[in-house]
Amino acid sequence: MIIRKMFKFENAHIVRNCSTQRCRASLHGHSYRVELLFESNFLDHGQMVYDFGLMKQNMKEIIDSFDHAVTLWCDDDAAYLEAMMRHSERYVILPVSPSAEQFSRVFFVLIDALMHLTTCVNGEKEVTLHSVIVHETATGYAQAFRDDAYSEVMGIIDFEQITFSKAIQKDWNDPNLFEKIKAKKEFVNPKKV
């Protein structure tokens, strides 16, 4: 069975080298919608695959990191990167360009890592991330599956090359959230949410 949960965030970017002039040459924003799809052949004690309420914790926080932020590709023009970091306190730097395709891959590896580190306490069994859909507009989306997310051809997403600005980290319940994911610390789901 597959379940899906939708999240929203507002984000600004430039997608260098794409075909559309407006996208590659002008800073602009989108109202993104992200869908996380989880799969299991089992149900927990509440007869659910994975309680949606549990997704409102760390998972939501990771996605919300991108809200009202500018997402930057580390290989973009140095002067542009420097100006964005100086004038926007919420920014994220990625090792890949912030296209919908790459956003879906980035969310996949982040949420997948979080799931692997999370200990479930309500009988959830063999719950795996099936795919991540990122809607960039009302009509266009990208969907990353496991093979896409970890594809070297599409670009390795190394957590050491992802930077969340200080203002973003400060907004997290635990300002060390990403450091803990990188250090592979255990997260235990609350008994009740």
Catalytic residues: 23, 68, 136
Nearest CA-CA partner of 55 in 109, 114, 1: 114
Between 23 and 85, name the residue whose CB sits nearer to Zn ion. 23
Between 23 and 117, name the residue whose CB sits nearer to Zn ion. 23
Q: How far is the CB of 13 from Zn ion (least distance, A)?
A: 6
Subset of 23-52 contacting Zn ion (CB under 5 A): 23
Token pair recorded at residue 179: 């450091």
Q: In this chain, which stretch among 18-26, 32-40, 78-86, 183-191 interacts with Zn ion, using CB under 5 A?
A: 18-26
Residue with tokens 């500018």: 70
Between 23 and 37, name the residue whose CB sits nearer to Zn ion. 23
Nearest CA-CA partner of 98 in 88, 107, 89: 107
Q: What dihedral do alpha carbons 30, 142, 131, 55 form, nearest 10°?
A: 10
CA 132 to chain centre: 9
Closest residue to Zn ion, based on beta-carbon distance:
23
Q: How far is the CB of 55 from Zn ion (least distance, A)?
A: 26
Q: How far is the CB of 52 from Zn ion (least distance, A)?
A: 29
Residues in contact with Zn ion, counted by CB under 5 A, come to a total of 1
Q: In this chain, which stretch among 21-29, 85-93, 157-165, 172-180 interacts with Zn ion, using CB under 5 A?
A: 21-29
Q: Does residue 166 sit in helix, strand or coil?
A: helix
Between 132 and 134, name the residue whose CB sits nearer to Zn ion. 134
Q: How far is the CB of 4 from Zn ion (least distance, A)?
A: 23
Subset of 91-120 contacting Zn ion (CB under 5 A): none
| Max Cα–Cα distance, the chain, nearest Å | 54
Q: List phi, psi (to 5°) of 117.
A: -90, -10
Q: List phi, psi (to 5°) of 53.
A: -60, -35
Token pair recorded at residue 143: 């969907």
Q: In this chain, which stretch among 16-24, 34-42, 53-61, 116-124 interacts with Zn ion, using CB under 5 A?
A: 16-24
Question: Per DSSP, what are the bridge partners of residue 132?
Answer: 36, 144
Residues at the site binding Zn ion, with contacts judged by CB under 5 A: 23
